[in-house]
Amino acid sequence: MLALLFIPFVGMHLSSEINWSNTDFAIATIVLYGAGIAYEVIRTIGITPRQRLFTGIALALALCVCWVELAVGVFGTPFAGS
């Protein structure tokens, strides 16, 4: 998960269009680790592999929607800062 945070970090040094603050990195860390912990909890519950797969996919989609909303404000919620 730490490797995902290096993408914007490196991008900030290569381009002036990416401008993350320490708060942005902290929120991204919380979102990524929260999704990872949620998946581990779901994985250990003892559900069938098929249910685990679909739950993992749903969790990954929720993570992507949250990430995109926080990044660019696609849906216009107050969390996006727009």
Structure tokens at 78: 């107050």
- Residue 48, classed as helix, strand or coil, is coil
Report for 9-13, 42-46, 66-70: range of highest mean pLDDT: 9-13
Instruction: Look at the block and give the residue holding tokens 């929260």.
Output: 34
One-letter amino acid at 68 equals V
Angle, CA 21 vertex, CA 3 and CA 39 arms, to 5°: 40
pLDDT band at 80 (very low <50, low <70, confident <90, very high): low
pLDDT in tens, 31-56: 899 999 988 998 888 788 888 889 88
